[in-house]
Amino acid sequence: MDAIRQAVLVPIHREGWPFIAGFAVVAVVLFVLSQPLGWVGVALTAWCAYFFRNPDRVTPTRAGLVVSPADGVVQRIEAAPPPPELGMDAAPRQRVSIFMNVFDVHVNRIPADGTVAAVVYHPGRFVNASLDKASEHNERNALRLALAAGRDIALVQIAGLVARRIKCDVQANQAVRAGERFGIIRFGSRVDVYLPPGVNALVAEGQRSVGGETVLADLGGAEAPRQGEVR
């Protein structure tokens, strides 16, 4: 019974309550006008609550692991320089791009233990987040995480075609832990993770990731880049 209750009664992110309330009011108005339209309003209210769900996650705690910052599909793994606004080494490093559709959990999580060295918001466009140029041209919020032994990770929240709000709850010089919630993007978006030089991703393109749980990389490992295929 506890498992069923936890699956149904998922916490809602605080950013969602104004939207859920607004949809509920619209549903009541639609019921006054027409019962069939009212049920459409109920369905939209339920979807809004579903979108803003904020479930707990079980994060691997072994030192050196990098976990996924978001739920979604690993859309692309490629070499790319980190965002210039973060002041990091401009040499290309492996970038893992995770695309979230409107049905995924949109709460974002810290990928590794460390300290927030920088947080930089960059205004931009709202093209489809699945496109290559979204990393460079779209509105984004970039974080630089300082890790142990002088290493660092770049983490970028990217707005999408229908996303119009990036929320980040961490500040520079704040100590963070892997799996901690740090923000949310609405509605439909993408998160990029730039791994330290020489570190390969332990996921494959097309794989679904779970924020705070799926291991993206092992900072102490030496495994070659993974390949995957649909079966």
Helix (H) or strand (E) segment spanning residue 217 = strand 215-218
Q: How far apart are CA 56 and CA 211, in angstroms?
A: 10
Selected catalytic residue, list 97, 135, 189, 209: 189
| CB-based burial label for 175 (10 Å; 0-12, 13-18, 19+) | exposed
The C-alpha torsion from 218 through 99 and 89 to 147, rounded to 10°, is: -40
Q: How far apart are CA 189 and CA 101, in angstroms?
A: 7
Q: Judge whether 97 counts as a catalytic residue.
A: no
Would you please indicate which residues are annotated as catalytic (active-site) residues? 189
